[in-house]
Amino acid sequence: MSLKQRITDDMKAAMRAKEAERLNTIRMLLAAMKQKEVDERVELDDPMIVAIVDKLIKQRKDAAQQYEAGGRQDLADKEKSEIVVLEEYLPQRLSADEVAAAVKAIVTELGASGPGDMGKVMGAVKQRLAGQADMGVVSAAVKAALAG
């Protein structure tokens, strides 16, 4: 079953179960997917959907931080509950150690050295680890690999 079909089925299940928060989050995800399809005139495949989910999670994390800084814990909790629902649609994430090992292998493969090669390494890493790792962790691993 494709990821798109799974999301649609989950929306129907949330409707039947009358899970309002879950339903709203899934509808927001479907709207973002539809927007991308219309804007770029493409049919979304699973990696593209994972990229959209990653983007939405990042937005929710940023918003939650802002709400907490502003003393609005109620809104921060809402964003965090949306993150939990969205994370269901991500593939199994790599651990920090696995990310570091993959980055080291790519750095060696590309013959990269020093911070000047960060862009080249990040491009290769993004292609290979897309959807499998948090890009913040990846970026830190690349910096560490190029510094050491």
Amino acid 112: pLDDT: 66
Both 67 and 117 in one domain: the answer is no
DSSP state of 113: -
Both 67 and 121 in a single domain?
Answer: no
Mean pLDDT of the chain: 87
pLDDT band at 124; cut points 50, 70, 90 = confident
Q: Give the closest residue to 57 by CA, choosing from 30, 34, 80.
A: 80
pTM here is 0.74
Whether residues 8 and 81 share a domain: the answer is yes
- Other Cβ atoms less than 10 A from the Cβ of 37: the count is 14
Q: Can you read off the two tokens belonging to residue 73?
A: 């814990």
Q: Based on the structure, what is the number of domains in the chain?
A: 2
What CATH code is carried by the domain that includes residue 28?
1.10.1510.10
Which domain covers residue 118, as residue numbers?
A: 96-147
